[in-house]
Amino acid sequence: MATRTGSNPKDLAFEKASAVFAFAVLALTVLLFAVLLRESMPALRKFGVRFLVSGTWDPVADQYGALPFIYGTLLSSFLAILIAVPLSVGAAIFINEFAPQWLKKPVSFLAELLAAIPSVIYGLWGIFVLVPILRDYLMKPVAKYLGWIPLFKGPVYGPSVLAAGWLLSIMIVPFILSVSREVMATVPQRQKEAVLSLGGTRWEMIRIVIGQHCIPGIFGATVLGLGRALGETMAVTMVIGNRPEVFLSLFQQGYSMAAVIANEFAEAGGLQLSSLILIGLLLFLVTLVVNLAAKWILTKMVARASRGI
Amino acid sequence: MGTIAFRRKAVDRAMKWAFSLCAFLVILPLFLVFFDLLIKGGKELRWTLLTDLPHPVGEPGGGIANGIAGTFVITLLTMAWSVPVAVMCGIYLAEYGRGKFASAVRFAVDTLTGVPSIIMGIFGYILIVLPMKRFSAWAGAAALSMIFIPVVVRTTEDMLRTVPTTVREAALALGIEQWKTTLYITVRTASAGILTGILLAMARIIGETAPLLFTTLGNQFWQTRLDQPMAAMPLQVFSYAISPYEDWHDKAWAGALVLITMVLLINIVARYLTREKR
């Protein structure tokens, strides 16, 4: 930005000083990865790839496998995406295209506030409000009449993968919503007006123009939301049930990668601690890849929009 | 009116209602959460909540005073060293940041932003708890700073970039040294935005629970020593919420109400700051 003005020693000193702090941030990131890798080595050496596919988590026998946690994390995050994406995209279309001017700001402000609520408060609300509602009005009736479908098999406890997914969906909505709105705002106004001037209704305009332009961007927003959901800890820990098993039913109590770290880390030692850190390393790598993918998709999208295609 | 035109209009109207419903469903949980916080937390809200230590199960009364103090201390501790690091890093990226090194730093900041907060807890544990052989406020602050720093670096860089180059050039043309221009003109111009970023990041770490679980651990009593386990509000909300006792559940709601009030107040102040400047 600023142009270099000769070689004033004070200027140079200031530049170098700020560079030192920038280097510190870079070094912290490298250090984070390095310590995760070092401390997870014992578990990695002992179990290898088996760690990913073994379902045993047995501190007594000192045998550890992460499959139930990986499964629970993926299943609850997938559910969250399934619920959150249609709602967020619908709400984004409402705010951008349909809402009267006076309503746009309040609605988007309230949606942003959802992101400010600490995750432990979502968890608290989940335990005492959301889980009982889901249990009595959704899971019990569904298990009673559709219980023969493996996905909805009882018994119904309340805390479950479904509850975790549902709570997660509420938490990731603000992120998907705001990115979707930004993506939709990149559509050139003249294209919208073209459809309307041909006699199209507002919905037809949305279907044609947004359908044409925004699908990759909305996909990027979805991936970003997924990155959030995968690493969410407190809310999931409080409602998922914390039982390390692999099963098909959404009503069963499950476990997640972040939740097992939260629950067992403080009292763990030796190989168990190393295994927990290995789960942390996996989570770190997965969220990194997911976030990079989201960023890549969204930058491509913006580049395309700025060329006016 | 032809039937086709009628059908198209009907579909249009139906879709409008569907989208409105989506927007309604998106913000509905916000009202539900606040409603429950006010009803269930408000019931327990009295002065002793803010001034007393937690009481054992079954004993009525008791508060979260040590948690409030602990959160305050840990937050200040985090910010004391994170603010300078993050702001200076942001200055570097905005004012000098070109080339490979700057790209690497930006990539690092992006990476940190996306890392789940529980992993920052592991970081604090390995770096501070393991060598010191005990849980401590230091370790919690180390974990929280890993969340705080990337957010503030990003907003600082973005805010400095909104300052027009002409402002810098005007200062330089007056013969002001470049480092003075940066500190007293550029950073000064962007200060409201930078402060907003700092406050939003602060609101975020006040509510963070996962990074503290196995770093500061929590404490039933007062603790003034930073190398000892310390209580924190979000930790108290968590342990009360998952406890099997009815009266502790009430305290979880009350604690959550205090917590959300703080977080929202900071959020509102932060937003107000930037609004005024626009």
**CATH code assigned at B267:** 1.10.3720.10
Residue A170 lies in a domain: yes
Give the closest of A8, A95, A120 to B209, CB-based. Answer: A120
Q: Do B115 and A231 touch (CB under 8 A)?
A: yes
Would you say residue B125 lies in a domain? yes
* pLDDT tens for each residue of B174-185: 999 999 999 999
The ipTM assigned to this model is 0.94
Residue A52 in any domain: the answer is: no
pLDDT of residue A96: 93
List pLDDT tens digits, range B219-245. Answer: 988 888 999 999 999 999 999 999 999
CATH number for the domain that contains residue A232: 1.10.3720.10
CB nearest to B179's CB, from A11, A233, A262: A11
Shortest alpha-carbon distance between residue B36 and chain A (Å)? 8
* Residues on chain B touching A166 (C-beta within 8 angstroms): none
Contacts of A230 in chain B (CB under 8 A): 116
Does B233 reside within a domain?
yes
Which chain A residue lies closest to B205 (C-alpha atoms)?
Answer: A118
Contacts of A288 (CB under 8 A, 6+ apart): B111, B114, B115
Q: What is the pLDDT of residues A260-270, one digit of tens each?
A: 999 999 999 99
Say whether A120 and B207 touch across the interface (CB within 8 A): yes
**Residue B45 placed within a domain:** no
- How many domains are there within chain A? 1
End-to-end CA distance of chain B: 49
What average pLDDT does the structure give for chain A?
92
The verdict on residue A250 lying in a domain is yes
Highest-pLDDT range among A94-98, A268-272, B144-148: B144-148
User: Across the interface, do B12 and A202 touch by the CB < 8 Å criterion?
Assistant: yes
- A39 occurs within a structural domain: no
Give the residue from chain A lying closest to B237, CA to CA. A120
B167 inside domain: yes
Which of A4, A21, A202 to probe by mutation at the B interface, max B CB count within 10 Å? A21
User: What pLDDT does residue B277 have?
Assistant: 47
Which of A28, A91, A231 is opposite residue B22, by nearest beta carbon? A91
Q: Domain total for chain B?
A: 1
Between A173 and A208, the more confident residue is A173
A187: pLDDT strictly greater than 90 = no
State the count of interchain CB pairs (< 8 A) between A and B: 281
Tell me the residue range of the domain where B254 lies. Answer: 50-277
CB contact under 8 A, A261 and B118: yes
A246 contacts A259 by C-beta, under 8 angstroms? no
Q: Is residue A36 part of a domain?
A: no
The kind and range of the H/E element at A171 are helix A161-185
Q: Domain range holding A254?
A: 68-306
The count of C-alpha atoms lying within 13 angstroms of the C-alpha of A2, restricted to the half-sphere facing its C-beta, is: 31
CB contact under 8 A, B112 and A28: yes
Strand partners, A254: A241
Q: What whole-number distance in Å separates Cα of residue A273 and Cα of residue A139?
A: 36
On whether the pTM is more than 0.90, the answer is yes
Rounded to an integer, what distance in angstroms lies between the CA atom of residue A29 and that of residue A36? 11
pLDDT band at B46 (very low <50, low <70, confident <90, very high): confident
Taking CB atoms and an 8 Å limit, are B242 and A238 in contact across chains? yes
For the stretch B189-219, pLDDT in tens is: 999 999 999 999 999 999 999 999 999 999 9
